[in-house]
């Protein structure tokens, strides 16, 4: 059996861990640049704030209802996520961390009651030790576990846990389960299926295999099998190295200057290179892209990307050289740029590296040692402690993040700041 553990309203819940006064109050967490709503507490959902809503469109509602607003704090969420995953791995011999707030666990097959008790226990421990509420669904396949979790969350009687193992019970649930809520069926496919008269999961299962194959490809067929209790989406406990690594950001303010645009591109490239080395890969191509703000119909638009190819490397210096050349080729003066990014592609793993027959390695050992030292220093003292000069020092391309909470668990300087504040307010309390 497979259990899916899903953290409820994860980012909002993370913010609550360190501000318990916010329990029961509406919270939203914003995307980078404080642009869109990307997480909502139940109270915020109840107010009708949709997922992905541009925040300026809901400003009035947010103020009127005193919604607590946070900028993203991925350092905090990432750290809490790891703590949750650590606990989960104690309850299963195999765990697949599926996303920052979800994990699949291999579960001993037992009676429904035994499995439910196990789920309830996990939920209790995560709540107690980390302070994050989770929902847990247990079923024979991943897709069914997703549905079980869905039920666990929606049905208040279930108290956050739901076991879906009995064939009859599964059938009954699928009769009314909307096809668009199934894992892997998105907006487009839902629309397509609706035109074919398919509305529930059961409707989908009733379709002939050949028809599904033709209309929804093998992806659709896999979903049907999963719904029938036949595992078709494999369980992957070890994370595979990524096939592409991307770093891209919108700017807090639009950028016109080549210099600042270049600093942004170089910074993104440096970030990509760090991620690349973390997974022991070498990249042999890179896409660099820039574009203007497509929402501003009143301004002239420009959008371009370029792909560079080079002998496989993981060295920041070599990659930055490519990124700068790429930008030189696509930059056009006179536009207000809103977003820029770098994508590394075509990876080889360290142990299977192909040498290039015709290019002499232009990087000497010195450059490699330099990058090694760079990693060591930044690992120890925090990212960007030591940077490439081309990244610049001004962070002109920085994001807007006006309401970010402290990184309570990872940044010693911010932890200290919180402690000082606490002591101060206690002292004041004492004096009054």
Partner DNA sequence: TCTGGGGTCCTAGGACCC
Give the binding site for DNA (CB under 7 A): 31-33, 35-36, 38, 52, 54, 56, 98-102, 146, 182-190, 217-219, 242-250, 275, 293, 295-296, 338-339, 341, 343, 399
Q: Which is nearer to DNA, 56 or 381 (CB)?
A: 56
C-alpha to C-alpha distances, 420 to 18, 106, 114, nearest whole angstrom: 15, 44, 47
Label the pairing between strands 27-30 and 134-139.
Answer: unpaired
- Min dist. Cβ of residue 4 to DNA (A): 9
CA distance 16 to 96: 26
DSSP symbol at 238: S
In 3D, which of 369, 257, 280, 354 has the Cα closest to residue 317? 369
Residue number with CB closer to DNA (36 or 125):
36
Let me know: does 281 contact 350? Beta carbons within 8 Å: yes
If the CB atoms of residues 25 and 74 are measured against DNA, the closer one turns out to be 74
Query: Residue 112 Cβ, how far from DNA at the closest point, in Å?
Result: 24
- Please give the backbone phi and psi of residue 65, each rounded to the nearest 5 degrees, phi first: -95, 5
- C-beta of 152 vs 343, nearer to DNA: 343
The whole-angstrom separation of Cα 303 and Cα 155 is: 46
Closest CB to DNA among 21 and 334? 334
The DSSP code for 242 is P
Q: How far is the CB of 238 from DNA (least distance, A)?
A: 13
Task: Name the minimum Å distance from CB 429 to DNA.
Answer: 37
Distance CA 390, CA 388 (A): 5
Whole-angstrom distance between the N-terminal and C-terminal Cα of the chain? 58
Nearer to DNA, 167 or 280 (CB): 280
Instruction: Give the integer Cα–Cα distance in Å for 145 and 107.
Output: 11
- Smallest distance from the beta carbon of 212 to DNA, in angstroms? 11
- Min CB(271)–DNA separation in Å: 7
In this complex, which beta carbon is closest to DNA, that of residue 295 or of residue 358? 295
Give me the least distance between CB of 323 and DNA, in Å please: 14
Handedness of CA 43, 49, 53, 54 (dihedral sign): negative
CA distance 384 to 378: 6
């Amino acid at each position: 059996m497979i259990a899916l553990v899903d953290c409820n309203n994860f980012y909002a819940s993370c913010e609550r861990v360190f501000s318990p006064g916010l329990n029961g109050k509406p919270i939203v967490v914003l995307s980078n640049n404080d642009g869109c709503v990307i997480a909502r507490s139940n109270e915020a959902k109840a107010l009708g704030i949709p997922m992905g809503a541009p925040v300026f469109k809901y400003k009035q509602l947010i103020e009127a209802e005193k919604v607590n607003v946070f900028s993203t704090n991925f350092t905090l969420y990432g750290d809490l996520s790891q703590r949750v995953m650590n606990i989960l791995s104690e309850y299963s011999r195999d765990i697949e961390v599926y996303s920052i707030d979800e994990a699949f666990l291999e579960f001993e097959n037992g009676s429904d009651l035994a499995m439910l008790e196990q789920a309830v226990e996990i939920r209790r421990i995560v709540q107690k030790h980390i302070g994050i509420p989770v929902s847990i669904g247990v079923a024979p396949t991943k897709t069914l576990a997703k549905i079980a979790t869905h039920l666990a969350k929606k049905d208040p009687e279930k108290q956050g846990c739901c076991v879906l193992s009995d064939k009859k019970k599964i059938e009954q649930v699928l009769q009314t389960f909307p096809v668009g809520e199934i894992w892997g069926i998105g907006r487009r496919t839902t629309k397509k299926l609706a035109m074919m008269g398919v509305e529930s999961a059961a409707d989908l299962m009733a379709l002939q295999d050949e028809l599904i194959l033709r209309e929804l490809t093998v992806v659709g067929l896999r979903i049907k099998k999963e719904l029938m209790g036949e595992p078709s989406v494999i369980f992957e406990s070890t994370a595979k190295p990524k096939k592409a690594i991307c770093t891209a950001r919108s700017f807090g303010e639009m950028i016109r200057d080549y210099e600042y645009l270049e600093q942004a591109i170089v910074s993104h490239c440096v970030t990509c290179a760090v991620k690349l080395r973390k997974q022991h890969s070498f990249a042999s191509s890179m896409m660099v892209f820039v574009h203007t703000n497509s929402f501003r119909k009143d301004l002239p638009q420009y959008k371009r990307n370029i792909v560079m190819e080079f002998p496989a490397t993981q060295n920041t210096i070599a990659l930055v050289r490519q990124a700068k050349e790429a930008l030189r080729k696509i930059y056009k003066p006179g536009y207000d740029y809103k977003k820029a990014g770098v994508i590394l592609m075509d990876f080889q793993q360290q142990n299977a590296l192909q040498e290039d027959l015709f290019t002499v390695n232009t990087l000497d050992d010195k450059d490699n040692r330099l990058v090694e030292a760079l990693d060591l220093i930044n690992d120890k003292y925090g990212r960007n402690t030591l940077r490439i000069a081309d990244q610049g020092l001004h962070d002109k391309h920085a994001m807007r993040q006006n309401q970010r909470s402290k990184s309570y668990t990872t940044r010693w300087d911010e932890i200290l700041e919180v402690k000082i504040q606490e002591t101060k307010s206690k002292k004041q309390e004492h004096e009054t």
